[in-house]
Amino acid sequence: MSTEGMEYYRAKYKTLEDLPGVGPATAAKLRQSGYRTVEALATAAVSELVAAGIGEATAARIIEAARRSMAITFVRGDELVKLRKTVRKLTTGCPSLDRLLGGGIETQTITEFYGEFGTGKSQICQQLCVTVQLPYEKGGLEGGALYIDTENTFRPERIMQIAPRFGLDPDEVLKNIIYAEAYTSNHQMVLLENADEVIKENNIRLIIIDSVTSHFRSEYLGREMLASRQQQLNKHLHKLIRLARAFNAAAVVTNQVMAQPDVFFTRDVRPVGGHILGHMSHTRIYLRKGRGNIRIAKLTVSPNLPEGEALIRITDRGVEGEEDA
């Protein structure tokens, strides 16, 4: 697999010990706190390293060196354009959905699929695990997928059903999907905090959390826990976005929402993650059921695209656009 498009993200320092000021003891502390790669350090905050037992001045120096090596410190406007050019789009495998998304799912940001149960959120995630492996000219990212599953809904059999449609060998496709089941919200957070090495070693270009909110919702009950729930979720999503930036990967999360039929005139939904998830997900797609296997995808939030809708179908071949269904 190639690493084209990642020039800006390739660290000049290969291991933590290569960074100036990092000896074996500091490296051990960093690793223990989940910072195993230069990429992860480049997107870390000083306070986080201090919490890991590193002195403040050293922490600042380490982060600065990691950032400089990855060219993600101050950049000129023209350089920013170049950096922005490394953003890639991952095909969903549905032409209608790709069109809605202006070409596909962008790397370096979070894309959230939300909707009621059975609307196809997990189906889309599993299909993306296949399409991410396609060559760039076919809309893929020539990389693997990391799938953090909180509801035990990932099915390798489904991947094997979807892969042939994209001309890929099902067994090979499965080899490039790293799967982890998260048992609690805390476990889910720890998995992501420790993911940087796995991401680097396996050339992961797609990080999925399906669903990002279910554990938080079931564990943090009642009004008085709302603030701490949002705080933890916020921290989790920050980590996700940093990983997406550091590895030029697409980050996709799902969020089950319930329709509120009691709201007059509008078919409103209450996003479980509340405002924080709303602000952190740069692109949000609302899924609702249509007739039979049809689903309607609505782009509700995007930094640069107009609102719009696309029809998709869930079939034995995966998720298909209206054209090919």
Per-residue string for binding with Mg ion, 135-174, x by CB under 5 A? ------------------x---------------------
By C-beta, is 122 or 281 nearer to Mg ion? 122
| Among the listed residues 21, 23, 55, 118, the single contact to ligand GTP using CB under 6 A | 118
Give the footprint of ligand GTP on residues 251-270 (CB under 6 A).
256
Of 117, 184, 305, 307, the one binding ligand GTP by CB under 6 A: 117
Half-sphere exposure of 269 (CA within 13 A, CB side): 19
CA angle 190, 219, 150 (to 5 degrees): 50
What is the C-alpha separation between 154 and 125, in angstroms, rounded? 9
Comparing CA positions, the residue from 144, 205, 209 lying closest to residue 182 is 209
> Is 122 an interacting residue with respect to Mg ion (CB under 5 A)?
yes
> How do beta strands 89-90 and 177-181 pair?
unpaired
Please give, one letter per residue, the 3-state secondary structure of 235-275. Answer: HHHHHHHHHHHHCCCEEEEEEECEECCCCCCCCCEECCCHH
* Residue 7 site contact among Mg ion, ligand GTP, none (CB < 5 to 8 Å, cut-off depends on kind): none
Nearest approach in angstroms of CB 117 to Mg ion is 7
Q: Which of 192, 111, 109 is nearest to 150 (CA)?
A: 192
CB contact at 8 A, 210 and 147: yes
Q: Which does 158 bind (CB under 5 to 8 A by kind): Mg ion, ligand GTP, none?
A: ligand GTP
- Does 232 sit near Mg ion (CB under 5 A)? no
Output 35 or 154, the one with its CB closest to ligand GTP: 154
Q: What's the gap between Cα 62 and its chain centre?
A: 26
Is residue 143 within 8 Å of 1, Cβ to Cβ?
yes
Residue 316 near ligand GTP by CB under 6 A: yes
Contacts for 175 with CB less than 8 Å, ≥ 6 apart: none
3-state SS class at 319: strand
> Would you count residue 255 as binding Mg ion (CB under 5 A)?
no
Does position 123 interact with ligand GTP (CB under 6 A)? The reply is yes
Residue 213, interface with Mg ion (CB under 5 A)?
no
Cβ within 8 Å of residue 190, ≥6 positions away: 34
Q: Which is nearer to ligand GTP, 65 or 319 (CB)?
A: 319
> Among residues 212 and 237, whose Cβ is nearest to ligand GTP?
212
Considering only 83, 241, 315, 322, the residue that binds ligand GTP (CB under 6 A) is 315
Q: Which does 256 bind (CB under 5 to 8 A by kind): ligand GTP, Mg ion, none?
A: ligand GTP
> What token pair was written down for 36?
């195993």
Q: Which of 36, 67, 158, 215 binds ligand GTP (CB under 6 A)?
A: 158
Please give the backbone phi and psi of residue 50, each rounded to the nearest 5 degrees, phi first.
-60, -45
Q: Which stretch binds ligand GTP (CB under 6 A): 104-112, 118-126, 173-181, 235-243?
A: 118-126
Least Cβ distance, residue 177 to Mg ion (angstroms): 16
**Nearer residue to Mg ion within complex by CB, 122 or 188:** 122
Footprint on this chain of ligand GTP (rule: CB under 6 A): 115, 117-123, 151, 153, 158, 256, 314-316
Footprint on this chain of Mg ion (rule: CB under 5 A): 121-122, 153
